[in-house]
Structure 1
Amino acid sequence: MTARKAGRRPASTPSVGRQEIWEAIRLQAGGFTAASLSTASGANRKTIEDYLRCLHPAGVIERAGEDGWRLADDRGHHAPRLNRAGKPVVQGAGTENMWRSMRMLATFSPRDISAHSSTPEVQVTEPTAKSYCGMLLRCGYLRVIRKASPGVRQATYRLIRNSGPKPPQVQRVKRIYDPNTGEVHMPGER
């Protein structure tokens, strides 16, 4: 048995996180406290305070009184992904970009996914795209449209399980957790 970091939940355990806190912030844009956000979102105070410490240096929120805050820069529906210095977090952005590309393209190869998912800030390599496609295929998210011919062409896929906007996550134990449905999928299941 392996030890787990204290306080860390497995990815398949539902929890209240930054998105719910962000939605509560937007509802209370004119003024809020950690306590009012906790009541509105159901998140615990420590999680809320940690997130506020990320939003403040980015200028997303500003002080309003001694222990209050107000929204200074509404960045839309999706919770800003920021570190404690207020800088954007790019970890996981490659997977988000690959999933978005798969949802937009009718058919694709790993090379297509790599090209459509890379940005100046996030580079998605062909081996990374091939690995992600392979895992999604084994878990029933993709169908092979044209088989690969080694040294000639890559396989071509079509997305057949478009479960929502959040990318399915490959877990260390080689299974897929789908944050859109809360389901866990094992390789070989359809």
Structure 2
Amino acid sequence: MSDERTAHAPGALLTKVLHHLRDGVCLTIDTLEEDLGLTRRQISDSMSKLIMRGLVERAEVGCYQLTDDGIKARSEGLVLTSGPTGPHTGRISKPWRDTLRQRAWAAMRMSASFTLGDLVVAASRDDRDATSNAGRYVRALVLAGYVIEMPVRQKGTRMTSNGFKRYRLVRNTGPVAPVYRPGKHTIYDYNLREDVSCDKNN
């Protein structure tokens, strides 16, 4: 089992997970872990990348299924590489790079709710100022109406802690992370191909 869990190249992992999913069937990470003999981290990372490519979607909390593009890719026997590019659908140009904000956006799409700390754990790959970067991005998404702050905080571990703000993604427009444009104070949404004002919640 341990050899199987460590022997896969990133592209092979993505391909293995993609081809194990079935049209119309929602599978949990626990099920995939048991079926494929992979670690939860391997499966979670693979799901994040497949969601970024528009091949998989979170049908409900902790349960994942193929998108229409994923069904087509699987039926065509698509073999994936580890890069962040994906099949072009004609709907959008896929300008994403493997950045902290792109990974954070993918994590938001996979989560029912999240704290800033959750995003940093899920998205950081030794990025500089990851917490500050993710915090600025979340604040911009809140101002543009993509993310809401939830009324109940997550409890902190210290007696004096006020807890941690929890957020929820309420405007999930697609796999490509919207980009904050500070000069215009807008979010450019590549999924919609339009600018969205960051004054919506002011």
TM-score normalised by the chain length of structure 2: 0.46
- Give 1 or 2 for the bigger CA radius of gyration: 1
TM-score (norm 1): 0.48
